[in-house]
Amino acid sequence: MTSTDTVLVQRSDDDRGVVTLTLQRPEAFNSLSEAMLAELQAHLDALKADTQVRVVVLAAAGKAFCAGHDLREMRAEPSADYYRSLFGQCAKVMMSIQRLPVPVVAKVQGIATAAGCQLVAQCDLAVAAEHCRFAVSGVNLGLFCSTPAVALSRNMGRKQAFEMLVTGDFISAAEAQRRGLVNRVVPAEELDAEVAKLVDSIVAKPREAVALGKALFYRQLESGMDAAYVDAGQTMACNMMEPTALEGVQAFIEKRKPNW
């Protein structure tokens, strides 16, 4: 276990390669200060290079998951150059989540608003406690949540995403699940167990196959259909040559469990 000022890093003690990053600014509703964004970036960079990691869980301390950017910090330096740098820093963190070779699971225990909702949307998977609420509420302050819109519109239908963006209204965890923002919703007391269940399912699969698949999944979303199929076919051919895939297919033929 290691801790910085705003992020706690915990590694599972069972050698399964599960790493939990916990946002630790509960007194500020885990708002994304410059320091927190920098620390998250440093941890994500380190995890990308760590071949022992299999799954990353993004969690938060306190009542809120994340309330978005630190508005007091933003208001203290009102210049276009500063804001461009800040939002660029945030975008880099979001893209680093997507570019990690392992799945990132958001463990949502409280409200997620604005860039906090963006953070949930950017994670590959999300499990939420049933009391949680979600909003991209910047428009209520005169600031349209343009950067959260990028992740949000890639998780749910356009009209549903735009309604959230233009009204700033909250939606429930159940509605977030219906719209595709989160995968699973459970009572708060079952959140840990549900995340563990999802993690267990992932770590039981070969890391190489998951890494190839995650990269392809996001690439093909941004491609035309023809190009997507070409890319997917090439990825599957490469995957099929991996020892884990060859062993998995052979085990299926021989009706036994694969020896990974």
Q: Is the pLDDT of residue 3 over 80?
A: no
CATH fold of 207-253:
Lyase 2-enoyl-coa Hydratase; Chain  A, domain 2 (1.10.12)
DSSP character string of 159-228: HHHHHHHHH---EEHHHHHHHTS-SEEE-GGGHHHHHHHHHHHHHTS-HHHHHHHHHHHHHHHTS-HHHH
Structural domain spans, the chain: 2-203, 207-253
CATH fold of 2-203:
2-enoyl-CoA Hydratase; Chain A, domain 1 (3.90.226)
50-80: per-residue pLDDT in tens? 999 999 999 999 999 999 999 999 888 889 9
Question: Which residues, other chains included, contact 47 with Cβ-Cβ below 8 Å and sequence gap of 6+?
Answer: 19, 53, 56, 100, 102
Q: Please give the average per-residue pLDDT across 20-26, as a whole number.
A: 98
List of long-range contacts for 143-146, beta carbons under 8 Å, 24+ apart: 145/114, 145/115, 145/117, 145/118
Identify whether the C-beta of residue 151 lies closer than 8 Å to the C-beta of residue 121: yes
pTM for this one? Answer: 0.92
115-163: per-residue pLDDT in tens? 999 999 999 999 999 999 999 999 999 999 999 999 999 999 999 999 9
Q: What is the mean pLDDT of the chain?
A: 94
How far from chain centre, in Å, is Cα 110? 15
pLDDT score recorded for residue 160: 97
Question: Which residues, other chains included, contact 111 with Cβ-Cβ below 8 Å and sequence gap of 6+?
Answer: 29, 63, 64, 65, 67, 132, 133, 134, 135, 170
pLDDT band at 42 (very low <50, low <70, confident <90, very high): very high
82-128: per-residue pLDDT in tens? 999 999 999 999 999 999 999 999 999 999 999 999 999 999 999 99
